[in-house]
C-alpha cells in the first residue's frame, strides 16, 4: 500500500493502461511536454512519445472529433480537458457522436473513449472555470459518467473507464488533486456503476459524491459526538445512478439527505428524488432534503463563492432537523 496524491493516482492508472495496451493514448491541451495543468500526465511523453501523448491546439471540438474517430477505428483515446468547462465547445461531438454512434451504427462501432479533467467550484477561479457540469451530460444517452473522490477510487475508476467499450466521462474535482490517500500496490479496478458505502449507519442516509463527500464526513465527525448514526453513500456513478444501493440503505433508515455541488435545478439530486418518488416513496418517513449549489454562475468574490456551495454546518443542521421531527 502507498499513500499518494489523487493526481498521482490518475497518472499511475494512465501509465499502467498505456503500458499494457498500445492502443491507449492521451490527447489534449498541454498534456505532453507541460505534463497537464494538474500534472496528471507529467513525463508520460518521455516514456511513450509525442504521438501517444499528443498536444493539441486550443480547438476542443476538433480534437474531440478526432478522438471519437480514433475510438471507432479501435484505438482507446483519453481526452483531457484543461478544464471540463471548455469541453462545452465539444458538446456536439460528445452528444451527437460519442453517445450515439454505437447505437446508430447498429453496434458496428464501439466508442472506447475516456473524457476526463478538472471541474467543480474551485477557489476564486471565476464563473467560466467553476462550472458544475454533471447535469449537462447526464441526460445524454449512451454515456457513462463517474466522479472520483479519493486517490483509491480515482485510480480504479480511470482504469475501468479505459477498458470499457463505451464513452465514459470522469469528473475530477479541481480541489481534490492534492488529496492524499492509500492506494494498493497491486492492480485493481473500481466498478463504473456502483456506489460506495463510506459509513454504515441506521438513522439517516446521506448520499453525496466528489468533493462533497469530504464535507459530509466533516459534518459526520461532529454528528457522531451528538449520538447520531448516519449512513454515508458516495454515488461515484452518476450515470447510471446506483439506485439499488440507495434503496437498500433507505430500507434501514427511511430518511434521505442528498448533498451535491451540482445546481439544484435539473441536477443529480433532482434525478435521485424523481426515481425514489416514482418507485420507492413508501420507504420514506420524511420528505427528502436536497442540499445543492445555488442556481447562479459561481462568483469570483471569495465570500460570495462560499455562499454558492454547501458547507458542513448546513449538513449538520439538516440532520438535526430531520431526526428531531
C-alpha cell read off for 107 = 453496434
Give domain 2-183's CATH architecture: 3-Layer(aba) Sandwich (3.40)
pLDDT of residue 154: 98
Which residues, 6+ apart, have CB-to-CB distance to 274 below 8 Å?
none
Q: 3-state DSSP call for residue 322?
A: helix
Q: Which pLDDT belongs to residue 69?
A: 98
Whole-structure pTM value:
0.96
Torsion, Cα of 249, 252, 256, 260 (10° steps): -30
| Catalytic hit among 129, 173, 261, 305 | 129
Domain residue extents for the chain: 2-183, 196-324
| pLDDT for res 229 | 97
Task: Examine the residue annotation and report whether 271 is marked as an active-site residue of this protein.
Answer: no
Quick one: pLDDT at residue 128? 87
Quick one: CA torsion of 174, 318, 206, 166, rounded to 10 degrees?
-40
Q: What does the pLDDT look like over 75-129, one tens digit per residue?
A: 999 999 999 999 999 999 999 999 999 999 999 999 999 999 999 998 888 888 8
Given this model, what pLDDT does residue 322 score? 96
Residues 6+ positions from 234 with CB-CB distance below 8 Å: 149, 153, 195, 196, 198, 208, 209, 213
- Model confidence at 295: pLDDT above 80: yes
Q: What is the pLDDT of residue 62?
A: 96
- 182-196, 220-234, 291-305: lowest mean pLDDT where? 291-305
pLDDT at residue 325 is higher than 80 = no
What pLDDT sits at residue 286? 96
Q: Which residue among the candidates 60, 134, 261, 271 is catalytic per the annotation?
A: 60
The pLDDT tens digits of the residues spanning 301-310 come to: 999 999 999 9
State the pLDDT confidence band at 174, using cuts at 50, 70 and 90. very high
pLDDT for 39-49, tens place per residue?
999 999 999 99
Residue matched to cell numbers 477510487: 153
Architecture, CATH, for domain 196-324: 3-Layer(aba) Sandwich (3.40)
> Could you give the CA distance from residue 26 to residue 31 in angstroms, rounded to a whole number?
8
Q: Are the folds of 2-183 and 196-324 the same? A: yes
pLDDT at position 82 = 92
What are 247-289's pLDDT values in tens digits? 999 999 999 999 999 999 999 999 999 999 999 999 999 999 9
Question: Helix, strand, coil: what percent of the chain each, to 5?
Answer: 40, 20, 40
60 is catalytic: yes
pLDDT, the chain, mean: 96
Amino acid at each position: 500500500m502507498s499513500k499518494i496524491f489523487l493526481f498521482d493516482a490518475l497518472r499511475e492508472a494512465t501509465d499502467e493502461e498505456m503500458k499494457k495496451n498500445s492502443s491507449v493514448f492521451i490527447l489534449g491541451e498541454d498534456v505532453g511536454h507541460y505534463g497537464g495543468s494538474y500534472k496528471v500526465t507529467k513525463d508520460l511523453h518521455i516514456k511513450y512519445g509525442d504521438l501517444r501523448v499528443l498536444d493539441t491546439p486550443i480547438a476542443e471540438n476538433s480534437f474531440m472529433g478526432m478522438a471519437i474517430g480514433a475510438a471507432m477505428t479501435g484505438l482507446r483515446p483519453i481526452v483531457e480537458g484543461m478544464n471540463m468547462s471548455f469541453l462545452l465547445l465539444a458538446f456536439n461531438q460528445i452528444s451527437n457522436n460519442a453517445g450515439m454512434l454505437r447505437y446508430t451504427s447498429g453496434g458496428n462501432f464501439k466508442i472506447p473513449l475516456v473524457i476526463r479533467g478538472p471541474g467543480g467550484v474551485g477557489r476564486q477561479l471565476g464563473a467560466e472555470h467553476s462550472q458544475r457540469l454533471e447535469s449537462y451530460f447526464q441526460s445524454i444517452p449512451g454515456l457513462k459518467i463517474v466522479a472520483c473522490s479519493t486517490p483509491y477510487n480515482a485510480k480504479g475508476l480511470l482504469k475501468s473507464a479505459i477498458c470499457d467499450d463505451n464513452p465514459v466521462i470522469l469528473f475530477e474535482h479541481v480541489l481534490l488533486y492534492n488529496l492524499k490517500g492509500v492506494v494498493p500496490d497491486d492492480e485493481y479496478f473500481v466498478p463504473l456503476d456502483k456506489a460506495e458505502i463510506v459509513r454504515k449507519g441506521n438513522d439517516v442516509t446521506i448520499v453525496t459524491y466528489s468533493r462533497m463527500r469530504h464535507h459530509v464526513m466533516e459534518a459526520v465527525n461532529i454528528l457522531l459526538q451528538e449520538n447520531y448514526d448516519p449512513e454515508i453513500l458516495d454515488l461515484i456513478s452518476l450515470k447510471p445512478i446506483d439506485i439499488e444501493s440507495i434503496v437498500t440503505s433507505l430500507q434501514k433508515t427511511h430518511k434521505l439527505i442528498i448533498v451535491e455541488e451540482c445546481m439544484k435545478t435539473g441536477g443529480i439530486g433532482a434525478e435521485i428524488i424523481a426515481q425514489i418518488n416514482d418507485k420507492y416513496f413508501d420507504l420514506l418517513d420524511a420528505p427528502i432534503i436536497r442540499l445543492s449549489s445555488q442556481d447562479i454562475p459561481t462568483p469570483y468574490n471569495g465570500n460570495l463563492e462560499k455562499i454558492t456551495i454547501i458547507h458542513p454546518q448546513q449538513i449538520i443542521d439538516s440532520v438535526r432537523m430531520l431526526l428531531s421531527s
